[in-house]
Structure 1
Amino acid sequence: MTDLFTPLSLGDLVLPNRIVMAPLTRSRATPDRVPRPMMTAHYVQRASAGLIIAEATNVAPQSNAWECAPGIFTSEQVAAWRGLVEAVHRAGGRIALQLWHAGRVAADRRDNPEAPLSPSGVNDNLDAITVWGQGPEGRFVRLVATPSRAMTTAEIEDTIAAYGRAAQAAREAGFDAVQLHAANGYLPNQFLSPYLNRRSDTWGGSAEGRARFALEAVSTMLPHFAPRRVGIRISPFATINGALDPDPVPAYTHLVRELGRRGLGWVELADSNCWSGRFDRDAMLDLVRPVFAGPVIVNGGIDPPVAQQLVQSGRAEAVSFGRLWITNPDLTARIRQGGPYTVKRISGRLYGGGPDGYNDFPTLEEERAAHGP
C-alpha cells in the first residue's frame, strides 16, 4: 500500500518520501534580500523532507513585499542560494524554489518606493491585505498596505519575463525544481480573481483571460526546468488578501487542465481558509482531480494521521506541512514513529530576527539525550 514513506517520482526527480516541507516565509534574509547563513542551517536541518519547497522568493525588485524576504534577481542573491542548495544536497535533501510576485500585497518599502502593481488597481479592500515589516522597535508588525496601480500591458509582459529570469537563476543556483506561487492573493491569484482583475483586454474578462497570466508565467519557466520539475501552488477558494472569486471553478479548471497539457510536475493545493475554521480541501480536490493526472500535494491544517489517510486512499500523492516543520526539524522521523511532536507558539519570532525561534528547535534524538526517553 502506498503511504507517506513510499517514494514519489517527479519526472526523474525521485522523492524518498511524500512528506513535503511547505514554503514558509520567515523574513530571515538581509535587507537586500540575500539569503543569510542561518537560512542554510534551517534548511539543512530539514533535509529529510521528501521535498523542501523553499520560501516565497521575489522574482524582481517590483515584487518586493515583505521586508527581508529573499530574492533571486541579483548575482549576490543567486550566489547565496547556490551555497544553500549545495549544503542541502550534501545533507541528502532535495529543494525547490517558490517564485513569488506579491503584486498589490505590499506596504511602503524602503527598497522600492514605487506604487505596487496589480491587474486593475483595485484598492477598496486594502484592510484585507496582510503584509509584514519592521516596526518602530525593530520587531516585525503588520503594516498598512499601500494602494496599487493597474499594470500596463508592457508591465505585464515584463513581469512574466521576470519569472523566466528567476527560473533561469534558480537553475544556475542548483535548485532541483521550481514552483509558481499562484495562491494566497498574490499576483497570479490577483489576475485569476474577477474582483481584483477588472480588465477588458486579453488579460482579464473571461475565465481563460484571467488564467492567462499564470499560464504565461509557467511557460517562461519551462525552458529552464523539465516540465515535471515545475509545480504550482493554488488556493481556488481562499479569501486571503482579498482575491475573491464567487465561482472559481471555471478559471481554475481551465488553468489546471492547461498546465496538465504542458506536463506540469505537480499541483499543490493550499487550504488557506482552514486557519479561520473553513476547510476547502475536498472542494479543491474535487476541482483538480478530474482535470490533472499528475501528483497533487495537499496543504493546510493536516495532521500526520490524516496525511497518511489522504495518501493511502489515493486522494493525494503527498502532503506539505508548514507549522509542524517550524518546530520539528526532524519531522520525517517523528512521523515514522508516530510522534511526539513539538508544538510551540513563537509569537514575535515568526518573522524577522535571528536564529531564536528559527534554528533552535531540537530533534527528538537531541531531546532524549538531554532529558532521557
Structure 2
Amino acid sequence: MSLLFNSISLAGKTLKNRIVMPPMTRSRSTQPGDVANDLMATYYAQRASAGLIISEGTQISELGKGYAWTPGIYTGAQVKGWKKVTDAVHKAGGVMFAQLWHVGRVSHESNTGGRQPVSSSALQAEGVKVFIDENNSPGFVQSSVPRALSKEEIKAVVEEYRHAAQCAKDAGFDGIELHGANGYLINQFLDSQANNRTDEYGGSLENRLRFLKEVVSAVSTVFDSRAVGIRLAPLTTLNGAVDENPEQTYVEAVRALNELEAGYVHIAEADWDDAPEMAVSFKQAIREAFDGILIYAGKYTRDRAERALEEGWADMIGFGRPFVSNPDLPARLQQGIALAEHDPDTLFGGAEKGYTDYPVAS
C-alpha cells in the first residue's frame, strides 16, 4: 500500500497526497515592484495536484531581497498580485503556503535600493555570488559585506515578518513557511560560524535560537501556529552558513518549534554531489523532538519517498526540480510515467518558455 498518495491534515486542511511542491526561485515577477503576476498564477495552478504548494521565496522587505526579479510580499500591489495566484491555485483544488524570506547578507546593494545588506554579524559570505539585473540580464556579483543588526533593528525585522504574514493572509494563502535554511537571515543567527554576536542573540545555542523563536511567535499572531512551517537545512553549507554541531543545534531548534506548536518543519537535505548524508539517527532524533508534520526534500524518488514515509521519520516529501518540468508530477509518480527533464537555461528569469509550457503526460 502506497503512503505517498494518502491524504494528510495540515492547518485544518485535508491535503490530497503527501507530495509537496517546495519553494523554488524562478525570478519572473513583474518589474518594477517585484509583483506576482498572471504568468505565475498559471504556473502554480498547473501544479495544484500537489498535496501542498509552497511558494518561491518572497522577500518581506526591500532589504530582504537577494536576487533580481524575485517577488515580494509587503506592499499592496504585491498582495494583489499574489491574490491572483492563490485564487488560481484554489480554483484548481490546491493548497498553498507562502514562503517568507529575508536573505540577510546574501545580497548586493543593487538589489536593496542601494542600502548595505544586514545580518546577525558583520561577516561576509565569502565566495557567494548573487545575481543582479544588468540591463534585463542576470549579472553575477560577489555578495556585499553586511553590517550587524542592532537589537532595535532586530525587533523591526521581526515586525516585518509579522507584516508579511498579514500580507500573505490578505493575499489568500493558507499558511506560511519561514525560510530558515540555506544561509539566509534566520540561518545566519542559528549557525555558530555565521553569528559572532556577544549579546542575547549570539554565543550560546539558546541565544542563537532567540531570533527564530521571536519570528515564529510574531507570525503566529496572524496565522494559527499550526499554519506556520519552518524550513531548515542542518547539513547544507550553502551561502557560507556552517554550524559546528549541527545535530545538537537543529534537534534543539526543532524542539523549540514543537514548544511553539508550529505546524511543520521542512528539512532541506544537502543534495549536491558528494554532499554529507543526513544519518537516519539524526532524522529519528528530529522525529522524537517534533509532534507536527515533518517534510523532507532533496533528490527524492518515489521509492526513496515511500521508504521515508514507511520508516516514519517523514510525513511528506518535497520534489523540487521534477515539478519544474512535470506539472502533473503526482499523476506521473502514481502511474509510473517517465519524468520530463527541465531546461536549466530557463530556470531563472524569462517568460513562458521553460515555465508554463511543459506539457502534461498524455
What is the TM-score with the length of structure 1 in the denominator? 0.93
Distance 2:284 2:311 in 1: 14
Match of 1:278 among 275, 280, 297: 275
In 1, Cα distance between the equivalents of 2:358 and 2:274? 28
Q: How does 1:296-307 map to 2 (within 5 A)?
A: 296-307=294-305
Asked if residue 66 in structure 1 is aligned to residue 63 in structure 2, the reply is: no
Whether 1:359 and 2:356 are equivalent positions in the alignment is: yes
Q: Is the 1:253–1:288 Cα contact (8 Å) retained in structure 2?
A: yes
Secondary structure, in 3 states, of the residue corresponding to 2:194?
A: coil
The AA in structure 2 aligned to 1:55 is E
After superposition, the Cα gap between the structure-2 partners of 1:279 and 1:308, relative to the gap in structure 1 and judged at 3 Å, is farther
Contact 1:60 1:101 in 2 (8 A): yes
Tell whether the 8 Å contact from 2:60 to 2:160 is kept in structure 1 after alignment.
yes
Which runs of no fewer than 5 residues in structure 1 stay unpaired? 366-373
Identity %: 39
Instruction: Tell me the number of residue pairs that the alignment of Structure 1 and Structure 2 aligns.
Output: 360
Deviation at 1:111, TM superposition (A): 5.0
Structure 2 letter corresponding to 1:352:
G
Instruction: Identify the match of residue 310 of structure 1 among 308, 311, 315.
Output: 308
Distance in 1 separating the partners of 2:193 and 2:138: 30
Identify the residue that residue 18 of structure 1 maps to in structure 2: 18
Q: Which amino acid aligns with 2:293?
A: P
* Deviation (angstroms), 1:134: 2.9
The CA deviation at 1:251 is: 2.6
CA distance in 1, matches of 2:279, 2:334: 25
User: Partner of 2:130 in structure 1?
Assistant: 131
Per the TM alignment, residue 278 of structure 1 is displaced from its structure 2 partner at its CA by 1.4
Displacement of 1:11 after TM fit?
Answer: 3.5
> How big is the shift at 1:166?
0.6
CA distance in 1, matches of 2:326, 2:279: 27
Q: Using the alignment, how far apart are the partners of 1:305 and 1:133 within structure 2?
A: 39
- 1:50 maps to which residue? 51
User: What's the Cα RMSD here?
Assistant: 1.5
1:29 matched to which residue of 2? Answer: 29
Alpha-carbon offset, residue 312 of structure 1: 2.5
Q: Partners in 1 of 2:23 and 2:220 — Cα distance?
A: 21
Moved more, 261-270 or 302-311: 302-311
1:323 to 314, 321, 328: 321
Structure 2 distance, partners of 1:225, 1:363, is 34
1:186 correspondence with 2:187: no
2:264 corresponds to which residue? 266
Q: Cα distance, 1:274 vs. partner?
A: 1.6
Q: 1:159 maps to which residue?
A: 157
Trace 1:200-215 onto structure 2 (pairs within 5 A).
200-215=198-213
Between 54-63 and 306-315, the greater mean CA deviation after superposition:
306-315
> Partner residue of 2:42?
41
State the partner residue of 1:175: 173
Structure 2: how far apart are the matches of 1:303 and 1:279? 18
Deviation at 1:227, TM superposition (A): 1.5
Shift in Å at residue 279 of structure 1? 4.1
Displacement of 1:13: 1.4
Rounded to whole Å, the distance in 2 between the matches of 1:230 and 1:159 is 18
Give the superposition deviation at 1:317: 0.5
Aligned 8 A contact 1:4 1:318 in 2: yes
In structure 1, give the amino acid aligned to 2:315. Answer: E
DSSP-derived class of the 2:198 partner:
coil
Q: Which amino acid aligns with 2:96?
A: I
SS at match of 1:25: coil
SS, match of residue 20 in structure 1: strand
Deviation at 1:265, TM superposition (A): 0.6
Distance in 2 of aligned mates of 1:327 and 1:247: 37
Off by >6 Å, runs of 4+ in structure 1: none
- Corresponding letter in the other structure for 2:304: V
- Helix, strand or coil: the match of 2:160? helix
TM-superposed deviation, 1:303: 1.3
Displacement of 1:110 after TM fit?
5.2
SS in 1 for 2:344: coil
Give, in angstroms, the shift of residue 2 of structure 1. 5.9
Rounded Cα–Cα distance in structure 1 between residues aligned with 2:123 and 2:251: 25
Give distance in 1, aligned partners of 2:2 and 2:311.
Answer: 8
SS in 2 for 1:3: coil
The aligned residue for residue 369 of structure 1 is none
CA gap of 1:327–1:141, structure 2 versus 1, over 3 A, is farther
Specify the alignment match of 1:371 in structure 2.
none
Cα pair distance change 1:110/1:320, threshold 3 Å = closer
Change in 2 beyond 3 A, CA 1:2/1:201 = farther
Q: Does 1:7 align with 2:7?
A: yes
Contact 1:334 1:341 in 2 (8 A): yes
Q: What is the distance in 1 between the residues matched to 2:342 and 2:351?
A: 17
Opposite residue 115 of structure 1, the aligned amino acid is Q
